[in-house]
Amino acid sequence: MNPIRTFTLLVSVALATLLIAAAPALAQDDADDVAEVEQQVEDDAAEDDDHRIALAETPRDRVALLLFAAMALGGTVAFLQGRRQMKGSHEQASGEFRWR
Q: Are 86 and 95 in contact (CB under 8 A)?
A: yes
Tens digits of per-residue pLDDT, 20-61? 888 777 776 565 666 777 777 776 655 555 667 777 788 888
Rounded Cα distance between 85 and 78, Å, is: 10
End-to-end C-alpha distance for the chain, whole angstroms: 21
In the Cβ-directed half-sphere of 71, how many Cα atoms lie within 13 Å? 7
Whether pTM > 0.85 for this model: the answer is no
Closest to 66 in 3D by CA, of 12, 26, 35: 26
Q: How far apart are CA 98 and CA 93, in angstroms?
A: 11
Give the model's pLDDT for residue 32: 60
